[in-house]
C-alpha cells in the first residue's frame, strides 16, 4: 500500500533529513512488479507529494491493463477465428444489436463478401427479407431453420439459416448464425430421409412375353429424360418399374422422391408437393417449407396414383412440366427445377379426361412413354419363380427356415386369377408360411377363396359351395345382389374380368361381413381401391368402416 516516511520516521539516522513518498505498481493480474518513490528534503515536503506518487503508479498500472486488455482481445480474436476456421459449417456471430462481429471463410463465401465489408453490418441489411433474424438477435431467442434469399454476384441465391442465442454472465450477448447452401442442405435431407430408389431391373422377376415387352420398353425409357406413365392394376409392381428406370438412368445418383397422391389430404397436397412460403397460411411453419418437387431437384419424382391429384393442383403441375419451374404456395417468385417425372395409375386417365376428372393436356404431357405392367393372371408362367423369390424375402424377414410349396398348391396358384396381383400373392404366401409348421405349404394353408376357386373357360372366378350355404351368405348382401355358386357360374360358361372382380369382392364381403380392413387384407388391395370397387359395383350398403 502507498506510504510516506518523513525525517526521524526513518529507521536509518542518515535519512532523517529526507521525506520519501512511495506507491506500489501492480500488474493487471494484481502482482507487485515495482515501486515508485519520490524523495526530497524533509523541510520542503509538499502535502500532495504522496497523492502525486499514487496517481503516477495508478496511471502506469492502467496503461499496463489497457495494453494487456488489447493483447488479450487480439488473442481472443485469434482464438475465435481459429475456432471458426475449424468449424465445417458456415457461421457468423452477431451482437445483441444485430451487428455482425465475426464470420468464417465459408460464410464469407456464401454471402460473397470479405470480412472488412461484412463486419459491423446489420443482419437486417444482409437479409432484408427476413426481419425475424434481427429481432431474435436482439431478444436473445433462437430461430428455427428458415430459407433466406441473398443477392450474390447480381444473382439471387437461397441459403438455409438457423440461429442460436448466446448468453454470458451479464445475460444475452448475441447470436450464432449457421448458414448452408440450399442445394447442399437438400442433399443432406435427401440422404437422411433415404430418398433413393432401392430396386433395379434385376429385381423384376419374370420371363413372360407380356412382362418382357414392358421391361424392354422401360429400359429404353431409362436412356432419356422422357416422362413416363406407368399403368396397371393395383399390386402389379408399378413402383418397382419406376425405381428401376431411375436407377438405370443418368440420374441414378440423384434423389428419388415418391409421392402418393391418394395418401395426402386434398387440402394439403399443393403445399406438400409445391412447398409454401413463410406465412402462407395460418399455422404455416416459420420460414416456409420445401416441397417434394424441390427435394427431387436433380433426380426423379414418382407420382403414384396421380389420378387422385385434385384438378386445381393438376393445373399447377402442368405448369411445372411446361416450363420446369414451381412457385411455392404464398410466394410469387418461381424456382427453377431439374426433375424427371414418372407417374403411375391404375385407372384410365384418358377416360377420366372425358368425364372431366383428369386433364387431357396433363395426360398427354405425362404419357410420352406409356408402360403397362401386366396383371399376374396374364403371366401365370412367372408365378412359380415369383413365389420362390417372395418366400425367400418372407423367410429373411421372419427369421424362420425357408418353406417350400407343394405341387398341389402351385397348381391352385396357376389357376387362380389373382385380382390383387403380386401384392395378394405375397400376402397369401406370408400367411401360408406362418401356418405351415411342416416346412411345406399345403392346400390347407391357403385362404378359402383360393381353395374353392374353380376356373370357368380359363378366365372366370367361381367358388364351390352348396345352394344352402350360398343362400345363407346372400342374406348379408343388399336386395338384388347374390353370391353365385360354382354351378351357376359354370352355366354362364365365361365371365369378363369385371365379373371376376365383382364375384371376388362379393365373396370377401360375405366372409368378413363387410369389414373393409379384413377385405383389404384378404384381397391384398389398398383400402382406397376397395372403396372405389365397392362404389363402382354399388355394394356400399354392407360396408363396415374399420
CATH number assigned to the domain comprising residue 279? 3.40.50.300
312 and 284 belong to one structural domain: yes
Residue 259 lies in a domain: yes
108 and 171 belong to one structural domain: yes
- The residue among 479, 539, 543, 537 whose CA lies nearest residue 513 is 543
pLDDT of 438: 78
Biggest CA–CA distance in the chain, Å, is 146
Residue 529 lies in a domain: yes
pLDDT of 105: 87
pLDDT digits (tens, 9 = 90+) for 120-142: 888 888 888 788 888 888 888 88
237 and 270 belong to one structural domain: yes
Give the integer Cα–Cα distance in Å for 465 and 292: 51
158 and 292 belong to one structural domain: no
212 vs 105, 167, 175, 243, 371, CA distance in Å?
A: 55, 66, 61, 17, 11
Bridge partners, 326 (sequence order): 335
What count of other Cβ atoms lies within 10 Å of the Cβ of residue 459? 15
| Counted domains in the chain | 4
Domain boundary among 156, 186, 216: 186
45 and 92 belong to one structural domain: no
Residue 338 lies in a domain: yes
C-alpha of 101 from chain center: 35
Q: Domain containing 20 — which CATH number?
A: 3.30.450.40
537 and 409 belong to one structural domain: yes
The whole-number average pLDDT for the span 56-64 is 91
344 and 227 belong to one structural domain: yes
pLDDT of 464: 41
pLDDT of 301: 95
20 and 130 belong to one structural domain: no
* 430 membership: H or E segment, kind and range: helix 421-434
Domain boundary among 47, 74, 101: 74
Instruction: Look up the pTM and report it.
Output: 0.60
Q: Domain containing 163 — which CATH number?
A: 3.30.450.20
Parent domain of 285: 194-374
473 and 495 belong to one structural domain: yes
Domain boundary among 132, 164, 186: 186
451 and 323 belong to one structural domain: no
188 vs 113, 160, 181, 402, CA distance in Å?
A: 25, 12, 11, 39
Q: Residue 8: CA atoms inside 13 Å, Cβ hemisphere, count?
A: 0
- Residue 82, classed as helix, strand or coil, is helix
- The strand ranges marked E within 351-460 are 369-372, 404-405, 440-441
Residue 392 lies in a domain: no
Residue 323 lies in a domain: yes
* 317 membership: H or E segment, kind and range: helix 311-323
Residue 409 corresponds to which cell in the numbers above? 398348391
Does position 486 have pLDDT exceeding 80, yes or no?
no
pLDDT of 146: 80
368 and 413 belong to one structural domain: no
531: confidence class by pLDDT, cuts 50, 70, 90: confident
Give the integer Cα–Cα distance in Å for 377 and 304: 22
pLDDT digits (tens, 9 = 90+) for 195-243: 778 899 999 999 999 999 999 999 999 999 999 999 999 999 999 999 9
CB 303 within 8 A of CB 261: yes
**Per-residue exposure over 376-410, b if at least 16 CB sit within 10 Å of its own CB, e if not:** bbbbeebbeebbeebbeebeeeeeeeebebeeebe
Mean pLDDT score of the chain, rounded to an integer?
83
In terms of average pLDDT, the best of 280-284, 377-381, 397-401 is 377-381
191: confidence class by pLDDT, cuts 50, 70, 90: low
CB 206 within 8 A of CB 379: yes
501 and 403 belong to one structural domain: yes
Residue 82 lies in a domain: no
Residue 81 lies in a domain: no
Cα dihedral 235, 239, 245, 247 sign: negative
Residue 387 lies in a domain: no
Give the integer Cα–Cα distance in Å for 288 and 280: 8
Amino acid at each position: 500500500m502507498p506510504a510516506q516516511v518523513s525525517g526521524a520516521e526513518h529507521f536509518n539516522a542518515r535519512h532523517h533529513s529526507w521525506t520519501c513518498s512511495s506507491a506500489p505498481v501492480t500488474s493487471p493480474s494484481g502482482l507487485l512488479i515495482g515501486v515508485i518513490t519520490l524523495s526530497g528534503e524533509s523541510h520542503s515536503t509538499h502535502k500532495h507529494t504522496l497523492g502525486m506518487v499514487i496517481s503516477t503508479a495508478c496511471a502506469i498500472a492502467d496503461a499496463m491493463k489497457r495494453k494487456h486488455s488489447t493483447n488479450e482481445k487480439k488473442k481472443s480474436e485469434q482464438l475465435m477465428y481459429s475456432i471458426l476456421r475449424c468449424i465445417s459449417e458456415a457461421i457468423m456471430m452477431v451482437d445483441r444489436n444485430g451487428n455482425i462481429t465475426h464470420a468464417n471463410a465459408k460464410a464469407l463465401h456464401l454471402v460473397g463478401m470479405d470480412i472488412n465489408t461484412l463486419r459491423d453490418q446489420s443482419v437486417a441489411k444482409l437479409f432484408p427479407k427476413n426481419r425475424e433474424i434481427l429481432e431474435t438477435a436482439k431478444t436473445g431467442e433462437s430461430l428455427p431453420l428458415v430459407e433466406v434469399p441473398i443477392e450474390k454476384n447480381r444473382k439471387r441465391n437461397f441459403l438455409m439459416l438457423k440461429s442460436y442465442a448466446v448468453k454470458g454472465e451479464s445475460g444475452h450477448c448475441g447470436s450464432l448464425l449457421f448458414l448452408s447452401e440450399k442445394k447442399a442442405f437438400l442433399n443432406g435431407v435427401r440422404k437422411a430421409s433415404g430418398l433413393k430408389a432401392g430396386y433395379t431391373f434385376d429385381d423384376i422377376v419374370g420371363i413372360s412375353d407380356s412382362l418382357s415387352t414392358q421391361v424392354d420398353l422401360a429400359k429404353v425409357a431409362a436412356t432419356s429424360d422422357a416422362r413416363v406413365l406407368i399403368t396397371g392394376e393395383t399390386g402389379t409392381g408399378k413402383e418397382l418399374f419406376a425405381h428401376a428406370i431411375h436407377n438405370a438412368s443418368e440420374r441414378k445418383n440423384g434423389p428419388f422422391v415418391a409421392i402418393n397422391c391418394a395418401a395426402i389430404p386434398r387440402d394439403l397436397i399443393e403445399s406438400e408437393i409445391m412447398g409454401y412460403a413463410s406465412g402462407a397460411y395460418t399455422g404455416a411453419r416459420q420460414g416456409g417449407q420445401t416441397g417434394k418437387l424441390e427435394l427431387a431437384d436433380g433426380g426423379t419424382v414418382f407420382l403414384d396414383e396421380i389420378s387422385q391429384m385434385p384438378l386445381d393442383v393438376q393445373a399447377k403441375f402442368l405448369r411445372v412440366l411446361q416450363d420446369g419451374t414451381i412457385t411455392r404456395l404464398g410466394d410469387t417468385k418461381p424456382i427453377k427445377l431439374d426433375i424427371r417425372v414418372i407417374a403411375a395409375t391404375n385407372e384410365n386417365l384418358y377416360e377420366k379426361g372425358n368425364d372431366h376428372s383428369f386433364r387431357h393436356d396433363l395426360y398427354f404431357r405425362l404419357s410420352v412413354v406409356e408402360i403397362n405392367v401386366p396383371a399376374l393372371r396374364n403371366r401365370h408362367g412367372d408365378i412359380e419363380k415369383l413365389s420362390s423369390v417372395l418366400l425367400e424375402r418372407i423367410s429373411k424377414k421372419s427369421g424362420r427356415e425357408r418353406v417350400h410349396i407343394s405341387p398341389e398348391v402351385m397348381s391352385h396358384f396357376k389357376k387362380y386369377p389373382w385380382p390383387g396381383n403380386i401384392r395378394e400373392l405375397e400376402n397369401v404366401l406370408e400367411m401360408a408360411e406362418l401356418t405351415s409348421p411342416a416346412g411345406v405349404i399345403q392346400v390347407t394353408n391357403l385362404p378359402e377363396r383360393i381353395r374353392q376357386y374353380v376356373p370357368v373357360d380359363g378366365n372366370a372366378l367361381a367358388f364351390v359351395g352348396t345352394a344352402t350355404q350360398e343362400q345363407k351368405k346372400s342374406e348379408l348382401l343388399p336386395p338384388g345382389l347374390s353370391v353365385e355358386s360354382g354351378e351357376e357360374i359354370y352355366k354362364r360358361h365365361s365371365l369378363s374380368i369385371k365379373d371376376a372382380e365383382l364375384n371376388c369382392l362379393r365373396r370377401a364381403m360375405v366372409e368378413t361381413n363387410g369389414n373393409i380392413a379384413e377385405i383389404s387384407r384378404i384381397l391384398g388391395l389398398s383400402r382406397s381401391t376397395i372403396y372405389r370397387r365397392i362404389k363402382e359395383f354399388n355394394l356400399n350398403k354392407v360396408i363396415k368402416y374399420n
